[in-house]
């Protein structure tokens, strides 16, 4: 299990983006990258209302899942194209438990939340020649969104670093489970209460469902 690409990006003007700028366009870096509480050095969020913060500091997506999408889309999907900071190999990131911790380099990261697709992601696909028809629905139905990670221990990481799973909470609530609960299978929302350190946003969704 290892990191095969480290990807960072800064806000760029984009008339097609909802707020007129985007950071989805990542470039790959080869040397050691500092991991700070709010993310990787050289990476900056554009839409701070919906992205970023300590619960969405680093985004990971598996190379295996990019390859699956490449087969469906009929074109190669490059590392970082989905806007991920870490492209991984050898670890099913969507079957990892929420609260699971990974040591990468000298940093420790914890699975905290999930990425939900938006219209900017759809437009990004179209602008790069991919079939974006019903993209948000297709990505959602796949239920393999990749996790957002919080930084438990700051440090450095680099391409080629091993991913060592150093803690598994054992509650069985996976990244895929959390995603489905928040999107297509709301009956799963109470399951999220098994997660210690559940993000405030997800907890509010659960409470609204239970009280409703």
Residues 6+ apart with CB under 8 A from 111: 96, 97, 98, 99, 100, 101, 102, 147, 148, 149, 175
Is residue 66 scored above 90 in pLDDT?
yes
Which pLDDT value is given to residue 15? 87
Residue 96 pLDDT: 98
Quick: pLDDT tens for 178-199. Answer: 999 999 999 999 999 999 999 9
**Cα 43–Cα 66–Cα 45 angle in degrees, nearest 5:** 20
Averaged over 119-127, what is the pLDDT?
A: 91
The pLDDT of residue 184: 96
Q: Is the pLDDT of residue 50 over 80?
A: no
Q: Based on the number of CB atoms within 10 Å of its own CB, is 86 exposed (0-12), middle (13-18) or buried (19 or more)?
A: buried
- In this model, does residue 49 exceed pLDDT 90? no
Instruction: Read off the pLDDT of residues 1-23 as tens digits, 9 standing for 90 and up.
Output: 999 999 999 988 988 888 898 88
Q: Is the dihedral of CA 48, 122, 141, 9 positive or negative?
A: negative
**Per-residue pLDDT tens over the stretch 20-33:** 988 888 999 999 99
The pLDDT value recorded for residue 14 is 84
Q: Is the pLDDT of residue 206 over 80?
A: yes
């Amino acid at each position: 299990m290892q990191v095969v690409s480290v990807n960072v990006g800064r806000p760029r003007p984009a008339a097609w983006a909802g707020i007129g700028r985007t950071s989805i366009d990542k470039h790959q870096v080869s040397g050691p990258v500092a991991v700070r509480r709010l993310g990787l050095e050289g990476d900056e969020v554009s839409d701070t209302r919906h992205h970023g913060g300590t619960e969405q500091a680093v985004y990971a997506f598996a190379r295996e899942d990019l390859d699956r999408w490449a087969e469906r889309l009929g074109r190669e999907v490059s590392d970082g194209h989905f806007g991920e900071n870490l492209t991984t190999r050898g670890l099913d990131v969507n079957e990892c438990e929420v609260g699971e911790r990974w040591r990468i380099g000298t940093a420790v990261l914890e699975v905290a939340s999930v990425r939900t697709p938006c219209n900017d992601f759809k437009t990004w696909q179209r602008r790069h020649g991919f079939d974006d028809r019903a993209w948000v629905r297709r990505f959602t139905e796949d239920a393999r969104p990749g996790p957002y990670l919080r930084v438990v221990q700051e440090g450095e990481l680099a391409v080629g670093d091993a991913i060592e799973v150093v803690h598994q909470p054992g509650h069985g609530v996976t990244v895929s489970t959390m995603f489905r609960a928040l999107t297509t299978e709301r009956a799963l929302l109470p399951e999220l209460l098994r997660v210690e350190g559940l993000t405030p946003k997800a907890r509010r969704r659960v409470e609204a469902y239970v009280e409703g």
